[in-house]
Structure 1
Amino acid sequence: MKIVIAGSGEVGTHLAKLLSNEEQDITVVDSDGEKLAMLDANYNLLTFRGSPTSFTTLKQAGVEGCDLFIAVTPFETRNIVACAIAKSLGAEKTVARIDNYEFKDPVNREFFSHIGADDMIYPEYLAAMEIIQALRHNWVRHWFELHNGELILVGVKLRDNAPLVGMQLKDLGVMDHNFHVAAIKRDHETIIPGGFDKLQCNDIVYFMTRRDHVDSLVDLCGKKQRKIRDVLIMGG
């Protein structure tokens, strides 16, 4: 997939790093040559110096044939304008980073789509939602909701007190259970498991289940659901 990222700040750099590790065709556009040089020297991607809101720059950066254009400069208006230009040049899909939650209101979606911004990301809002999920489901490492919340994917770290530790997945097949082990993260390796794989202490195990069966995983993973009563927020 050919992806063009406008902006080489913290968000753009992190995106470029993650996507280049997946062997995507990445080009980063920014007017800051120093930041681009650092990216160019450390990651498998292309860089192009110029304004993300310049037709000429975006054409030269190959936006016309890209599958995805992501604008993540620190300025939301610049990101929206960059997406509009990229879309007019032929970008398949565009995403803009914003700082105004009103822009994500479904009522306004058609307006932004019409001008060329197909989707929007609001990092602060996403971080807040992650914190809320962590408080509500404090026994899991990761919590993802699929199909409008009908399916839940949770990542849980197993300790030595978990009944599942030492069990082969084929043994789960003869037990009455309502979940599927989708993946196992062990050290720095992600394992797509088979029947002979054994769950070990310190594994982060990803379970897929329905919402009404999530609670059955708590005891199997040796966890306890705690009710958070007090929260201290530092920073306004």
Structure 2
Amino acid sequence: MADSNEGDASGDDDTAERRGSRPVAGVVLAGGRSTRFEGGDKALATVDGEPMLARVVDALDAACASVVVNCRGDQRDAFAAALDDNGVDVDVRFALDERPDEGPVAGLASALACVDAPVVVVAACDLPWLDPALVRWLAGALDGHESGHAESAAEDAVDAVVPVVDGYPKPTCAAYRTDALAAAVDATLAAGSRRFRDVLDALAAHEVDVRDHGFSTRSLSDVDSRADLER
């Protein structure tokens, strides 16, 4: 069920306990114009009969205590209807772009203002094959759990766990410490940059190849065109 901008973004204690020892929020970045995608907003394009947005929200909800969707004001009603029409039983909180059309970093700034959990998993809306188990693992690995890097994570004060595929980081499918990410986003925007790479450069990020931990890179496959849906 889609919710309004108002409400508790942290979820209830029972939900948090079921999904991890520490509250984790999920953020979906969905405010783009889909300029490379033919035929409308790609967040509403269907995969196996379900909008990509709904699939990503479901994946995050299975692993997070709360879900925030960042979008433009003109997208909100269509997104809420798509979630309701597809039976997505999630109290989504919408974080509307304060700086529309300035890219995902600006959208992330709006979303983080609605997050009060100490850890956040950020996912783009065009990851229709996102595995909830990977979401849980990323959040756990941030604290050194399950990844086999507990000692180094504590020593290095890791701010983020970011998957890497063929040498390329995937910051829009990654786990972050919320306060560190918010500071890095603010600094990036203040410097006049819109690049996610600059956000990562401001963080102590632990990059991982998820294949080394039993996950398929299909979870990280994004959709830029309708041809990508045939992969």
TM-score above 0.5 = no
Q: Which has the higher contact order (CA 8 A, sep 6+)?
A: 2
Larger Rg: 1
Query: TM-score normalized by structure 2?
Result: 0.32
Q: Which one has a larger percent strand, Structure 1 or Structure 2?
A: 1
